[in-house]
């Protein structure tokens, strides 16, 4: 599972995801990429599930880049706990993804295999996605 090795603060505020991605929104490494069409939060388990889906379908051929990292902690209070008594303990890590963020990139495999692998990965993610190619 992806988690930061060390953070400056244990808990973060929730924040809002407002804008289009201005950085990390183009193909940098691979020939095919999976881009988000809506803002959202993607957990470390979802990132890993999509990564496994791509690498399994590609039979571990080619090269895969994961362009997002879960660096924001989400906290939860225990069940059946009364209100108050402070913020809950960090429960999971999420990557904040804005519209247009490049999430995965693939190269070194055929076009059909890459498109199908990225399609399978998109079903594991909670945001709408689009597959883009180097020709676009």
Structure tokens at 56: 């399994």
pLDDT, residue 71, reads 96
CATH for the stretch 47-75+90-136: 3.90.1170.10
Q: Where are the domains of the chain?
A: 47-75+90-136
Q: How many CA atoms lie within 13 A of 70 on its CB side?
A: 18
pLDDT in tens, the chain (136 residues): 899 999 999 999 999 988 898 898 999 999 999 999 999 999 999 999 999 999 999 998 899 999 999 999 999 999 999 999 999 999 999 999 999 999 999 999 999 999 999 999 999 999 999 999 988 6
Residues 6+ apart with CB under 8 A from 11: 73, 75, 87, 90
**Residues 80, 89, 95: CA angle, nearest 5 degrees:** 115
Helical H segments across the chain, by residue range: 44-57, 111-122
CA distance 12 to 82: 22
pLDDT, residue 136, reads 63
pLDDT, residue 60, reads 82
- The single-letter DSSP state of residue 20 is B
């Amino acid at each position: 599972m992806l988690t930061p090795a060390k953070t400056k603060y244990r808990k973060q505020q929730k924040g809002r995801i407002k804008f289009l991605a201005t950085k990390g929104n183009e193909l940098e490494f691979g020939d095919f990429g999976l881009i988000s069409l809506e803002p959202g939060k993607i957990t470390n388990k979802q990132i890993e599930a999509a990564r496994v889906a791509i690498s399994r379908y590609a039979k571990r051929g080619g090269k895969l880049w994961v362009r997002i990292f879960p660096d924001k902690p989400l906290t939860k209070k225990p069940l059946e706990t009364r209100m108050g008594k402070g913020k809950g303990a960090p429960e999971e890590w999420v990557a904040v993804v804005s519209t247009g963020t490049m999430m995965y990139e693939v190269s070194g495999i055929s076009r059909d295999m890459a498109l199908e692998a990225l399609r399978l990965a998109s079903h594991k993610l909670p945001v709408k996605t689009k597959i883009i190619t180097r020709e676009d």
